[in-house]
Copies of this chain bind each other. A is one copy, B any other.
Protein backbone atom coordinates (compact mmCIF):
# COMPACT_ATOMS: atom_id res chain seq x y z
CA UNK A 1 0.00 0.00 0.00
CA UNK A 2 1.18 3.51 -0.79
CA UNK A 3 2.10 5.67 2.19
CA UNK A 4 -0.45 8.50 2.19
CA UNK A 5 1.80 11.10 3.83
CA UNK A 6 2.41 14.07 1.52
CA UNK A 7 0.31 12.54 -1.20
CA UNK A 8 -2.99 14.05 -2.10
CA UNK A 9 -5.75 11.81 -3.33
CA UNK A 10 -5.99 11.70 -7.09
CA UNK A 11 -9.36 12.65 -8.52
CA UNK A 12 -10.54 9.42 -10.04
CA UNK A 13 -11.22 10.76 -13.52
CA UNK A 14 -7.61 11.97 -13.97
CA UNK A 15 -6.05 8.63 -13.13
CA UNK A 16 -5.36 7.78 -16.76
CA UNK A 17 -3.05 10.79 -16.99
CA UNK A 18 -0.93 9.40 -14.17
CA UNK A 19 -0.80 6.08 -15.97
CA UNK A 20 0.37 7.98 -19.06
CA UNK A 21 3.08 9.67 -16.99
CA UNK A 22 4.34 6.32 -15.70
CA UNK A 23 4.54 4.87 -19.19
CA UNK A 24 6.17 8.02 -20.57
CA UNK A 25 8.83 7.82 -17.82
CA UNK A 26 9.70 4.28 -18.87
CA UNK A 27 9.94 5.27 -22.53
CA UNK A 28 11.98 8.45 -22.03
CA UNK A 29 14.33 6.56 -19.70
CA UNK A 30 14.87 4.02 -22.48
CA UNK A 31 13.43 1.15 -20.41
CA UNK A 32 10.64 0.60 -22.91
CA UNK A 33 11.84 0.45 -26.50
CA UNK A 34 10.24 -0.16 -29.88
CA UNK A 35 8.99 -3.74 -30.02
CA UNK A 36 8.78 -4.16 -26.25
CA UNK A 37 5.49 -5.43 -24.88
CA UNK A 38 3.69 -3.56 -22.13
CA UNK A 39 2.45 -5.76 -19.28
CA UNK A 40 -1.12 -6.99 -19.90
CA UNK A 41 -3.92 -4.75 -18.68
CA UNK A 42 -4.66 -6.75 -15.54
CA UNK A 43 -0.98 -6.72 -14.59
CA UNK A 44 -0.77 -2.96 -15.10
CA UNK A 45 -3.81 -2.70 -12.83
CA UNK A 46 -1.82 -4.39 -10.07
CA UNK A 47 1.52 -2.68 -10.81
CA UNK A 48 0.05 0.82 -10.79
CA UNK A 49 -2.79 0.30 -8.34
CA UNK A 50 -5.43 1.84 -10.56
CA UNK A 51 -8.64 0.68 -12.20
CA UNK A 52 -8.74 -1.27 -15.43
CA UNK A 53 -10.77 1.57 -16.97
CA UNK A 54 -7.93 4.02 -16.28
CA UNK A 55 -5.40 1.64 -17.86
CA UNK A 56 -7.57 1.23 -20.93
CA UNK A 57 -8.09 4.96 -21.32
CA UNK A 58 -4.33 5.55 -21.12
CA UNK A 59 -3.67 2.78 -23.65
CA UNK A 60 -6.19 4.29 -26.07
CA UNK A 61 -4.40 7.62 -25.86
CA UNK A 62 -1.08 5.95 -26.60
CA UNK A 63 -2.61 3.98 -29.47
CA UNK A 64 -4.09 7.11 -30.97
CA UNK A 65 -0.68 8.75 -30.72
CA UNK A 66 0.90 5.77 -32.46
CA UNK A 67 3.09 5.06 -29.43
CA UNK A 68 1.65 1.61 -28.81
CA UNK A 69 -0.03 -0.91 -31.06
CA UNK A 70 -2.83 -3.00 -29.54
CA UNK A 71 -2.44 -6.78 -29.53
CA UNK A 72 -5.62 -8.77 -29.68
CA UNK A 73 -6.25 -11.85 -27.56
CA UNK A 74 -6.08 -12.55 -23.86
CA UNK A 75 -3.35 -15.20 -23.67
CA UNK A 76 0.33 -14.71 -22.81
CA UNK A 77 0.75 -12.81 -26.12
CA UNK A 78 -1.83 -10.21 -25.22
CA UNK A 79 -0.88 -6.70 -24.25
CA UNK A 80 0.23 -3.66 -26.20
CA UNK A 81 3.51 -3.31 -28.07
CA UNK A 82 5.62 -0.16 -28.21
CA UNK A 83 5.50 0.85 -31.85
CA UNK A 84 7.61 2.77 -34.32
CA UNK A 85 4.48 3.69 -36.18
CA UNK A 86 4.06 6.14 -39.00
CA UNK A 87 3.19 9.59 -37.87
CA UNK A 88 -0.56 9.34 -38.36
CA UNK A 89 -1.05 10.45 -34.77
CA UNK A 90 1.27 13.40 -35.22
CA UNK A 91 -0.34 14.63 -38.41
CA UNK A 92 -3.84 14.13 -37.02
CA UNK A 93 -2.96 16.17 -33.97
CA UNK A 94 -1.48 18.95 -36.10
CA UNK A 95 -4.63 18.97 -38.25
CA UNK A 96 -6.74 19.38 -35.11
CA UNK A 97 -4.62 22.18 -33.75
CA UNK A 98 -4.61 24.02 -37.05
CA UNK A 99 -8.34 23.45 -37.62
CA UNK A 100 -9.07 24.87 -34.20
CA UNK A 101 -7.08 27.95 -35.13
CA UNK A 102 -4.65 27.58 -32.29
CA UNK A 103 -2.19 29.04 -34.76
CA UNK A 104 -2.84 32.04 -37.02
CA UNK A 105 -2.63 31.19 -40.73
CA UNK A 106 0.29 33.57 -41.41
CA UNK A 107 2.29 31.73 -38.71
CA UNK A 108 1.48 28.41 -40.37
CA UNK A 109 2.58 29.84 -43.72
CA UNK A 110 5.92 31.06 -42.35
CA UNK A 111 6.51 27.69 -40.68
CA UNK A 112 5.70 25.99 -43.94
CA UNK A 113 8.15 28.23 -45.79
CA UNK A 114 10.91 27.48 -43.25
CA UNK A 115 10.42 23.72 -43.51
CA UNK A 116 10.00 23.60 -47.28
CA UNK A 117 13.01 25.82 -47.96
CA UNK A 118 15.09 23.18 -46.16
CA UNK A 119 13.34 20.27 -47.88
CA UNK A 120 14.03 21.83 -51.29
CA UNK A 121 17.69 22.33 -50.37
CA UNK A 122 17.99 18.74 -49.20
CA UNK A 123 16.25 17.46 -52.33
CA UNK A 124 18.72 19.41 -54.50
CA UNK A 125 21.67 18.05 -52.51
CA UNK A 126 20.41 14.51 -52.96
CA UNK A 127 19.79 15.14 -56.67
CA UNK A 128 23.38 16.39 -57.00
CA UNK A 129 24.52 13.15 -55.37
CA UNK A 130 22.51 11.12 -57.90
CA UNK A 131 19.94 10.03 -55.33
CA UNK A 132 16.15 10.37 -55.10
CA UNK A 133 15.85 9.83 -58.85
CA UNK A 134 12.45 8.13 -58.62
CA UNK A 135 11.05 11.01 -56.63
CA UNK A 136 12.46 13.53 -59.10
CA UNK A 137 10.81 11.67 -61.97
CA UNK A 138 7.52 11.72 -60.06
CA UNK A 139 7.95 15.48 -59.57
CA UNK A 140 8.36 16.01 -63.30
CA UNK A 141 5.22 13.98 -64.01
CA UNK A 142 3.24 16.00 -61.51
CA UNK A 143 4.33 19.24 -63.17
CA UNK A 144 3.31 17.90 -66.57
CA UNK A 145 -0.11 17.07 -65.17
CA UNK A 146 -0.45 20.55 -63.66
CA UNK A 147 0.32 22.11 -67.05
CA UNK A 148 -3.07 20.88 -68.30
CA UNK A 149 -5.25 24.02 -68.46
CA UNK A 150 -8.39 21.86 -68.14
CA UNK A 151 -7.61 21.04 -64.48
CA UNK A 152 -10.22 22.23 -62.03
CA UNK A 153 -9.03 24.29 -59.08
CA UNK A 154 -9.62 21.27 -56.81
CA UNK A 155 -7.48 19.08 -59.05
CA UNK A 156 -4.83 21.77 -59.24
CA UNK A 157 -4.82 22.05 -55.44
CA UNK A 158 -4.49 18.28 -55.04
CA UNK A 159 -1.56 18.21 -57.49
CA UNK A 160 -0.03 21.16 -55.69
CA UNK A 161 -0.21 19.28 -52.38
CA UNK A 162 1.33 16.23 -54.06
CA UNK A 163 4.12 18.40 -55.55
CA UNK A 164 5.10 19.88 -52.20
CA UNK A 165 4.86 16.51 -50.45
CA UNK A 166 7.02 14.89 -53.16
CA UNK A 167 9.75 17.50 -52.63
CA UNK A 168 9.64 16.92 -48.87
CA UNK A 169 9.94 13.17 -49.47
CA UNK A 170 12.79 13.73 -51.97
CA UNK A 171 14.63 15.63 -49.24
CA UNK A 172 14.86 12.37 -47.33
CA UNK A 173 14.34 13.93 -43.88
CA UNK A 174 11.43 12.00 -42.39
CA UNK A 175 10.61 14.45 -39.58
CA UNK A 176 10.69 17.45 -41.89
CA UNK A 177 8.60 15.58 -44.47
CA UNK A 178 6.00 14.58 -41.88
CA UNK A 179 5.72 18.11 -40.54
CA UNK A 180 5.50 19.46 -44.10
CA UNK A 181 2.75 17.02 -45.01
CA UNK A 182 0.76 17.87 -41.89
CA UNK A 183 1.11 21.60 -42.46
CA UNK A 184 0.36 21.42 -46.20
CA UNK A 185 -2.74 19.33 -45.52
CA UNK A 186 -3.82 21.74 -42.82
CA UNK A 187 -3.79 24.64 -45.29
CA UNK A 188 -5.47 22.60 -48.04
CA UNK A 189 -8.96 23.89 -47.30
CA UNK A 190 -8.11 27.60 -46.85
CA UNK A 191 -5.94 27.44 -50.00
CA UNK A 192 -8.79 25.96 -52.00
CA UNK A 193 -11.10 28.70 -50.74
CA UNK A 194 -8.49 31.26 -51.84
CA UNK A 195 -8.16 29.57 -55.26
CA UNK A 196 -11.92 29.94 -55.77
CA UNK A 197 -11.81 33.66 -54.95
CA UNK A 198 -9.13 34.45 -57.54
CA UNK A 199 -10.84 36.23 -60.42
CA UNK A 200 -8.12 35.67 -63.04
CA UNK A 201 -7.44 32.02 -62.26
CA UNK A 202 -5.59 31.22 -65.53
CA UNK A 203 -3.06 33.99 -64.82
CA UNK A 204 -2.62 32.93 -61.16
CA UNK A 205 -2.19 29.28 -62.16
CA UNK A 206 0.34 30.25 -64.86
CA UNK A 207 2.47 32.05 -62.26
CA UNK A 208 2.28 29.07 -59.90
CA UNK A 209 3.28 26.72 -62.73
CA UNK A 210 6.26 28.88 -63.68
CA UNK A 211 7.42 28.98 -60.05
CA UNK A 212 7.04 25.20 -59.71
CA UNK A 213 9.05 24.59 -62.89
CA UNK A 214 11.83 26.91 -61.66
CA UNK A 215 11.98 25.05 -58.32
CA UNK A 216 12.04 21.70 -60.11
CA UNK A 217 14.82 22.88 -62.42
CA UNK A 218 16.95 24.08 -59.50
CA UNK A 219 16.43 20.81 -57.63
CA UNK A 220 17.30 18.57 -60.58
CA UNK A 221 20.33 20.81 -61.32
CA UNK A 222 21.44 20.14 -57.74
CA UNK A 223 21.46 23.87 -56.92
CA UNK A 224 20.51 23.79 -53.23
CA UNK A 225 20.84 27.53 -52.69
CA UNK A 226 18.52 28.43 -55.59
CA UNK A 227 16.03 25.65 -54.82
CA UNK A 228 15.66 26.84 -51.21
CA UNK A 229 15.35 30.51 -52.14
CA UNK A 230 12.83 29.85 -54.90
CA UNK A 231 10.70 27.64 -52.65
CA UNK A 232 10.66 30.16 -49.82
CA UNK A 233 9.82 33.02 -52.20
CA UNK A 234 7.09 30.93 -53.89
CA UNK A 235 5.32 30.14 -50.61
CA UNK A 236 5.64 33.68 -49.27
CA UNK A 237 4.51 35.32 -52.50
CA UNK A 238 1.44 33.20 -53.01
CA UNK A 239 0.22 33.32 -49.43
CA UNK A 240 1.03 36.89 -48.54
CA UNK A 241 0.10 38.46 -51.91
CA UNK A 242 -2.74 36.20 -53.07
CA UNK A 243 -4.20 33.75 -50.55
CA UNK A 244 -4.22 35.73 -47.31
CA UNK A 245 -5.68 38.90 -48.92
CA UNK A 246 -8.35 36.76 -50.64
CA UNK A 247 -9.24 35.10 -47.35
CA UNK A 248 -9.22 38.41 -45.47
CA UNK A 249 -11.70 39.85 -48.01
CA UNK A 250 -14.17 37.25 -46.76
CA UNK A 251 -14.06 38.62 -43.24
CA UNK A 252 -15.38 41.93 -44.52
CA UNK A 253 -18.42 40.37 -46.20
Q: Which residues of A contact B (CB under 8 A)?
A: 13, 16-17, 20, 24, 27-28, 30, 33-34, 53, 56-58, 60-61, 64-67, 70, 72, 82-85, 87, 89-90, 92-97, 99-104, 107-108, 110-111, 113-115, 117-118, 122, 173-176, 179, 189
User: Chain A's interface: helix, strand, loop or mixed, by majority?
Assistant: helix
Using Cβ atoms and an 8 Å threshold, which residues of chain B touch A111?
A: 115, 118, 173, 175-176, 179
The copy count of this chain in the complex is: 2
Say yes or no: B114 contacts A176, CB within 8 Å.
yes
Using Cβ atoms and an 8 Å threshold, which residues of chain B touch A174?
A: 102-104, 107
Contact of A102 among B16, B20, B84 (CB under 8 A): B84
> How far is B95's CA from A90's CA once the two chains are assembled, in angstroms?
11
Say yes or no: A100 contacts B173, CB within 8 Å.
no
In the complex, 13 of the A-B residue pairs with CB atoms within 8 angstroms, ordered by the A residue number, are A13-B70, A16-B60, A27-B99, A34-B100, A82-B100, A83-B100, A90-B97, A107-B174, A107-B175, A110-B173, A111-B179, A114-B115, A114-B118
Which residue of chain B has its CB nearest to the CB of A28? B99
> How far is B60's CA from A93's CA once the two chains are assembled, in angstroms?
14
Say yes or no: A89 contacts B84, CB within 8 Å.
no
Say yes or no: B107 contacts A97, CB within 8 Å.
no
**Least Cβ–Cβ distance between A62 and chain B, in angstroms:** 8
Using Cβ atoms and an 8 Å threshold, which residues of chain B touch A30?
A: 99
Contact of A84 among B24, B34, B83, B101 (CB under 8 A): B101
**Least Cβ–Cβ distance between A165 and chain B, in angstroms:** 16
> How far is B98's CA from A27's CA once the two chains are assembled, in angstroms?
10
Contact of A20 among B64, B67, B87, B114 (CB under 8 A): B64
